[in-house]
A and B are shown apart, each in its own frame.
Chain A
Amino acid sequence: GAVVSQHPSWVICKSGTSVKIECRSLDFQATTMFWYRQFPKQSLMLMATSNEGSKATYEQGVEKDKFLINHASLTLSTLTVTSAHPEDSSFYICSAKGRLGNTEAFFGQGTRLTVV
């Protein structure tokens, strides 16, 4: 199956700072990537859809100025959590979809963000 690499796998940052998370498709071109957030023992909630070469589409209730998404190439999307606060602490996971319309989603390993 396709490989999606997410980095870093965990990060601790101070309140008020920004954190960038990278999601790379290693062996296929990802025209669309998705960013999810997962709180402990809860489901994955879609935050935004990242489209290569265009603006991201955010889900209702997700602040686009706080969660900056950039999809500058067919293999890389980044999520930047700006001015992070403790309530932003969560597990962030990306998934990717290639051009061929595969039905299954390929997920990155996830990033555990802790804001102190």
Chain B
Amino acid sequence: GQQVMQIPQYQHVQEGEDFTTYCNSSTTLSNIQWYKQRPGGHPVFLIQLVKSGEVKKQKRLTFQFGEAKKNSSLHITATQTTDVGTYFCAVLLRRAGGTSYGKLTFGQGTILTVHP
């Protein structure tokens, strides 16, 4: 199955600094999703990337999918204390024919702490 390695495991930043987490795979990925999980909470969907070289932005968050579709990154500009949480990448398993199955394989997650 498709597996992703996510780094770093932990990231501590001062408020205002930037933050980046990376996901890498040895195989070509059909898609990659990003989720945020606040402490004590459940994962919340942020975005899905499917196209080679795709870049999407959500306010201070920038998501990239590599040209070879083997890696992805999430970058947060000028972190705020509200950005605290664990960020996961995940791959959505698709059936033959391309229809979504819904089964997700998660990366290990990056725990972000922001010091005010």
Q: Which residues of A contact B (CB under 8 A)?
A: 1, 32, 34, 41-46, 49, 93, 95, 97, 101-110
Contact = CB atoms under 8 A, between A and B. Distances in A.
B80 interface: no
Given A104-B33, A110-B41, A46 B103 contact: yes
Interface residues of B, number: 24
Contacts of A106: 45
Contacts of B42: 93, 107-110
B13 to A, nearest CB: 18
Contacts of B25: none
B41 A101 contact: no
Contacts, number: 58
Given A43-B107, A109-B42, A97 B100 contact: yes
Given A43-B107, A46-B105, A101-B99, 16 more contacts: A41-B111, A42-B109, A43-B88, A43-B109, A49-B103, A101-B100, A103-B33, A103-B92, A104-B33, A105-B35, A105-B45, A105-B90, A106-B45, A108-B42, A109-B41, A110-B41
29 contacts: A1-B45, A34-B104, A42-B109, A43-B88, A43-B107, A43-B108, A43-B109, A44-B88, A45-B106, A46-B103, A46-B105, A49-B103, A93-B42, A97-B100, A97-B101, A97-B102, A101-B99, A101-B100, A103-B31, A103-B92, A103-B100, A104-B33, A104-B45, A105-B43, A105-B45, A105-B92, A106-B45, A107-B42, A107-B43
Interface of B: 31, 33, 35, 41-45, 48, 88, 90, 92, 99-109, 111
Nearest to B105: A46
